Structure 1
Amino acid sequence: MALLQKSGQPRPAPDDPTGRILDVEALERCLHDPSADIRRRAAADLASCQQATQWLLTQLQQETIPSVRQVIITSLTRINTTEAVQGLATCLRAEDARLRNDAIEAMKQMPDAMAPVIEELLQDQDPDIRIFAVNILESLCHEQVENWLLDVMDNDASINVVCAALDIIGEVGTEIALPVLERTARRFNDAYVGFACDLAIRRIADSRPAS
């Protein structure tokens, strides 16, 4: 659905790869249309419009149709701003597990916009939110991923959060993780933590290039 701006209305229009001039206010109204198909098409058209970020986030919180919700999340991913990431991060507190998982997968695709937000999530008072943040790091293509995980292992008080980090560090860690893994094993003195640390150490050692 491509709603065109009427002539004589000097409203700023977003950049659009097809060259269309979108009537963004009409599209915003369509986000609340009773028809799921109209809502879905409006959400798709707003992917090229950063000013629609808050509209999309508001609709995401109340949208009940999974296919519409997925298009909204896809559009927010394409907008790819810190505001979009911050809005998606609020979904981590939702009761709907599917919404949480969809938000996590979306944030994994926005590494640069995600960077300033991930540090806040890793410091959240709720350990479940911190675990979700660690899960985002699993596939986040960012140069700081290892450092964020090591900080969790060194400083997070929750054994569950640390174990989530340990599940990942063996896959992405380098030699700088080795002393942190040894400290983590001593810090918790827990059988599973010890096993996970040993496993991560072996994986990192096995990944070293042969001399």
Structure 2
Amino acid sequence: MTAASATTLPGRLRRARWYHPEWTVAVVAAAAWTLTIVAPGHGGAGWAVMAAAMMLPPALPAVRRVAMSGKWARRGRAAAGFAAAYLAVWALYGTVLLACVRWSQVPAHADGPLVAALLTAALWELTPYKRRWVRAGHRTPPLPPDGWRADRACLLAGLRHGGASVGACWALMLPMTVTAHLHLPLMILLTAIAVAEESLVKGTRLTHASATALLLAALVIAV
């Protein structure tokens, strides 16, 4: 990119995309939020969109690290491959979770299952296993800069990060699965917890605060 082209609007957009390849994934997350709010769906497709809205924002720092590890020309492809593999893990978890909810015949419009799910999430926040999974999500191994090995490494990194994210946040998705309607304030709270814990370097220190917030949310819904 020449100095002259960098000052034009298309040049600035290209430069921003190169230096911030995670923004393409952020746009997908924003679209998922919009679709979830405007046309909330039920079942696997609706859950997949909701999972993308809630779980892509916490993954943005990892997307950036993976994309920046390769050559400039392939940063967008690296971000897309990583994000696709990451979401595939969440989609698999969602398939299993929805099957379990249907099998257990959870009452769709009762507050009891939602409160129980929030209490489960709060208890999980206090376990050492939660903190281990959060720390695992902060690790990004060195990746090849180019070629098919780089593509494979990005996919594998996405799968590993998705596994760590599910391990850390599986309980945070329970409340949104057992409720039959879109609970936007709760969705925002759960996403904020996931973003804070998975994005911040000292996210493991926030688990007690997260547990308190989840307990308060359960109390509000119960009363």
Larger Rg: 1
Q: Is the pair's TM-score, using the shorter chain for normalization, greater than 0.5?
A: no
If each structure's helix is expressed as a fraction of its own residues, which one has the higher value?
2
TM-score, with structure 2 as normaliser: 0.25
TM-score, with structure 1 as normaliser: 0.26
